[in-house]
């Protein structure tokens, strides 16, 4: 991907959000070949942003590739990491996918499932913008923290 095709500007305010910073950290951690060495944060997170034009280029039916699956898992790892930071309780992400890209993402805290997301069309995984990523993640974390508060005994077991 060349710089000309990037949709995330280098000065996007959402690059400073907790989820984006952690997500970039997770993506760097799975970069075993140092592909991201020397890349800006905007360039690393850019493929996760699926504008309408980008989404139109992806077929409606398809199997997810390894890179997309890795991005999906890195996202749920980031959500779990933020939950740990906010609650002080260990959060364990579990992502189960079929070869066709259907499955489920769970995040467990203790014996409590705090995130349960059915996954479909994971070959098209992404967010319409970084603001969308931040907004959706904030809602997921808020709901998870509400469950932890409500069922604290199960979460701390």
Give the model confidence (pLDDT) of 60-111 as tens digits.
888 999 999 999 999 999 999 999 999 999 999 999 999 999 999 999 999 9
Question: What are the residue ranges spanned by the domains of the chain?
Answer: 12-155
Question: Which CATH code for domain 12-155?
Answer: 1.10.3100.20
Q: CA-to-CA distance for 19 and 131, rounded, in angstroms?
A: 11
Burial class (CB in 10 A: 0-12, 13-18, 19+), 150: exposed
User: From CA 51, how far away is CA 65, in angstroms rounded?
Assistant: 19
Find, among 52, 118, 114, 44, the residue nearest to 74 by Cα: 44
pLDDT of residue 2: 46
- The secondary element (H helix, E strand) that includes residue 77 is helix 66-87
Q: Give the pTM.
A: 0.93
Strand, helix or coil at 86? Answer: helix
Span 14-54, pLDDT tens digits: 999 999 999 999 999 999 999 999 999 999 999 999 999 99
């Amino acid at each position: 991907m060349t710089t000309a095709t990037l949709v995330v500007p280098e000065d996007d305010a959402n690059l400073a959000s907790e989820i984006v910073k952690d997500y970039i950290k997770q993506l760097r951690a799975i970069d075993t070949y140092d592909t991201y060495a020397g890349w800006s944060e905007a360039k690393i997170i850019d493929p996760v942003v699926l504008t309408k034009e980008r989404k139109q280029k992806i077929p409606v039916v398809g199997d997810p590739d390894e890179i997309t699956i890795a991005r999906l898992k890195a996202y749920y790892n980031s959500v779990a990491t933020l939950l740990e930071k906010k609650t002080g309780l260990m959060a364990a992400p579990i992502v189960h996918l079929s070869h066709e890209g259907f499955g489920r993402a769970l995040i467990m805290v203790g014996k409590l499932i705090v995130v349960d997301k059915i996954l479909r069309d994971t070959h098209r995984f992404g967010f319409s913008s970084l603001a969308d990523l931040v907004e959706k993640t904030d809602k997921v974390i808020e709901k998870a923290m509400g469950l932890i508060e409500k069922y604290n005994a199960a979460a701390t077991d």
